[in-house]
Amino acid sequence: MNARAPLAIRFGTLHDNLGEPKRNGTLLIEDGRVYAVGGSETEIPAGARTIEGACVVPGLINAHAHLEGSGEAQTMTVFVLTTPTQRALVCASNARKALHAGITSMRDLGSSEKLSIDTRDAIANGTIAGPNVVAAGRAICMTGGHGWFVGRQSDGEWDVRKAVREQLRDGADCIKFIATGGVLTKGAVPAVEQLGEDELRAGIAEAHKHGLKCAAHAIGTGGIKNALRAGIDTIEHGHLIDDEGIALLVERGAHLVPTLAAIRCILDGGDDAGMPDFVLRKARAIGEHAETNLRRARAAGVRFAGGSDAGTPFNYHDGYAYELELMQSMLGMSPREALRATTVNSAAALGLQRGTLGPGEVADLVVLARDPDADPRAFRDPEFVVKDGAIAFETR
Ligand SMILES: [Zn+2]
């Protein structure tokens, strides 16, 4: 059967992100797009494959991931002990895992060399299976800054502009800046600012001039505010944000990608999992405050977009369901809010025309055995994944 043959999905519930869920209907898909959404009596076009499913949701979008990482306990040493070829094969494997877990689009926020960009292209031209990838190329950090062992070290306004231009030359879709220290880099303190506001402003202006959105790794509130004042589009992590930072985030209308799983998976791993002591120490210090701070941000009306930082210790590319569960248990979101954050909000944050399932829209969707409204863990076991109107994964 032609992979792009018309599809008809008989659903119990459709969460199309367009108002209240629809019940007991039929979703028709043709030429990669939703053709119509009708009732249970809808006529199935000749030649269409019919699927029955309890619940249909838009394809998930992971707005923060690293395809080269597979959840290893020691992130820094991965890049010392492996060759670029080995890591390229890992990217292919992780892209397939993400797709099979229901992720139809993802943003890679920092790879070595051009690996995320080349992976994006290999998926787009059909060489390998995977989600649509929005790739940042190399993250831009200060000399010795968070992620220096894989990022583009850069200091001063003109050098940061040049670093942005290098990512543009390599074909990046977006730019990632490191505004504070981080957990996984020895010696980088998460609360402390790294690239300064002037450097961020220069780099963001350069990226925006060419139509690229910008993300800032920012855990400490000083770096969060620097990035927001400099014009950033998404704040990544944001765990130590204060009220002034929250107010600025709301005022600027930037999205916050909370990457709850990044901290949680390290804490779940614990003392005997082989992580360096500094990683556990920093994760524990952040973990004490993250939930309180992010709940305040949510109460203040901050726009959350879903991203898990997949690739970091014990945080797997096929484990995005855990992020949706943590959005519910840690931030108090309903299952529908978590779904919206990881679909339509992530799409908006990345500038993608995806995340809803109305007629005419791109047919990226997941068929689930259960409705997330009734079971927060329903995202764990997709039965079918449809990407660009074609079945990309099926269990039956
Ligand atoms: Zn990250």
Q: pLDDT tens digit string along 182-200? A: 999 999 999 999 999 999 9
Which stretch of 51-60, 73-82, 274-283 has the lowest confidence by average pLDDT? Answer: 73-82
Are 213 and 310 part of one and the same domain?
A: yes
- Model confidence at 3, pLDDT cuts 50, 70, 90, reads low
Are 170 and 304 part of one and the same domain?
A: yes
Number of domains the chain is built from: 2
Are 201 and 74 part of one and the same domain?
A: yes
Are 24 and 104 part of one and the same domain?
A: no
pLDDT of residue 30: 96
Are 259 and 332 part of one and the same domain?
A: yes
Identify whether 295 is part of a domain. Answer: yes
Residue 319 scores a pLDDT above 80: yes
Are 228 and 323 part of one and the same domain?
A: yes
Quick: pLDDT tens for 256-279. 999 999 999 999 999 999 999 999
Are 263 and 231 part of one and the same domain?
A: yes
pLDDT of residue 5: 84
| DSSP symbol at 272 | G
Domain that holds residue 22: 7-59+356-394
Residue 249 scores a pLDDT above 50: yes
In angstroms, what is the span from residue 105 Cα to ligand 1's centroid? 16
Residue 1 scores a pLDDT above 50: no
Nearby residues for ligand 1 (ion, Cβ within 5 Å):
309
Identify whether 2 is part of a domain. Answer: no
Quick: pLDDT tens for 101-116. 999 999 999 999 999 9
In angstroms, what is the span from residue 4 Cα to ligand 1's centroid? 34
Are 37 and 99 part of one and the same domain?
A: no
- Does the pTM surpass 0.95? The reply is yes
The DSSP annotation for 60-85 comes to EEEEEE-TT----S-HHHHHHHS-HH
Which stretch of DSSP H or E encloses residue 204? helix 197-209
Quick: pLDDT tens for 26-49. 999 999 999 999 998 899 999 999
| DSSP symbol at 387 | E
In angstroms, what is the span from residue 110 Cα to ligand 1's centroid? 7
Identify whether 1 is part of a domain. Answer: no
CATH number where 130 lies: 3.20.20.140
Please give the Cα distance from 194 to 10 (Å, whole number).
Answer: 52
Are 46 and 82 part of one and the same domain?
A: no
Q: Looking at residues 53-64, what average pLDDT do you find? A: 98
